[in-house]
Amino acid sequence: MSARPTLQAGRRPVTIPSLFELKRSGTPIVMVTAYDYPSARAAEAADVDMVLVGDSGAMTVLGHPSTTQVTTDEMLVLTKAARRGVDHAFLVADLAFGSYEVSDEQAIATAVRFIKEAGADAVKLERGDPSSISRARAIVGAGIPVVGHVGLTPQSATSLGGYRAQGRTADSAVRIADGALGLQDAGCFCIVFEAVPSALTSELMPHMTVPIIGIGAGPATDGQVLVFHDLLGIREGVGAKFVRRYADLQDAMDDGVAQYAKEVRTGVFPGPEHGYGMDEAELAKFRTLRDQLDS
Ligand code: KIV
């Protein structure tokens, strides 16, 4: 039996044609990451258009130092949990590093698992080099919608010289343009631009016929994506330049757990209102029974 919440009247599920319609009409597309049921429900409550089970979950919920450590099996667990919470938004799952680079066949087999086992609507892969374009084309050819991702692609951050903006030189900008156009030509129905100069995005947008979702790519894209934990302040340290914090939940969580620990240690919690009552007669009977056991 499916645990998926039922569709609410008047809210139609987001589809690929409806995303293209948002682009055509100039209505900003809202995407946010989610990695479990509560984050997916928060995304649904906000009526976002797209939910991304990003491999950023490697860091935000699994505690890895980078996205490259997460496995397909772990991504499937996160995607299944998010799927249970998403009923209207379009659900995209990231392909884990190492799960699609070897061959087109490997890429198709991995993508199929996200559709079949986890109920994702589409998969996302990183980089716009010829091999990633080939993988995107192969997965699309297998009938699975694909989101591309160019600019700062965290899976290859080491090769890119770290977590830094891309496309700031003419040569680097050409690589991003080639990648974006190549992925679009390969059949990607949507592409993420991450950490690229706003001016470069503006140059590229007239050539992009598919919805472009930006993160640190300026305001010219068709939509925006932020990482759930970044926008809610569920993290230690400072986030990337492109993050705006809309809440400080890490502070709220730390304070809440610290208060709980203090109250347990000082005997303030639990109070009488947190306990269950027992009929006096039943208690007396229990004592009699216990005495019989003891004798
Ligand atoms: O993994 C992720 O969260 C992403 C977004 C930042 C686009 O790829």
pLDDT tens for residues 49-72? 999 999 999 999 999 999 999 999
Rg of the chain over all Cα atoms, to the nearest angstrom: 24
Binding-site residues, ligand 1, Cβ < 6 A? 33, 52, 54-56, 94, 149, 192, 194, 215, 225, 227
The answer, as to whether pTM is greater than 0.75, is yes
**Looking at ligand 1, which residue's alpha carbon is closest to its atom 2?**
54
Return the pLDDT at 11: 80
Eight-class DSSP state of 4: P
> Which of 126, 194, 236, 263 is labelled catalytic?
194
Active site residue 273: no
- Note the pLDDT tens digit of each residue in 208-258: 999 999 999 999 999 999 999 999 999 877 789 999 999 999 999 999 999
Please report, rounded to a whole number, the percentage of residues in the chain having pLDDT higher than 90.
Answer: 92
pLDDT bucket at 2, cuts 50 / 70 / 90:
very low
Closest CA to 142 of 178, 93, 192, 106: 106
- Give the C-alpha separation, 43 to 33, whole Å: 8
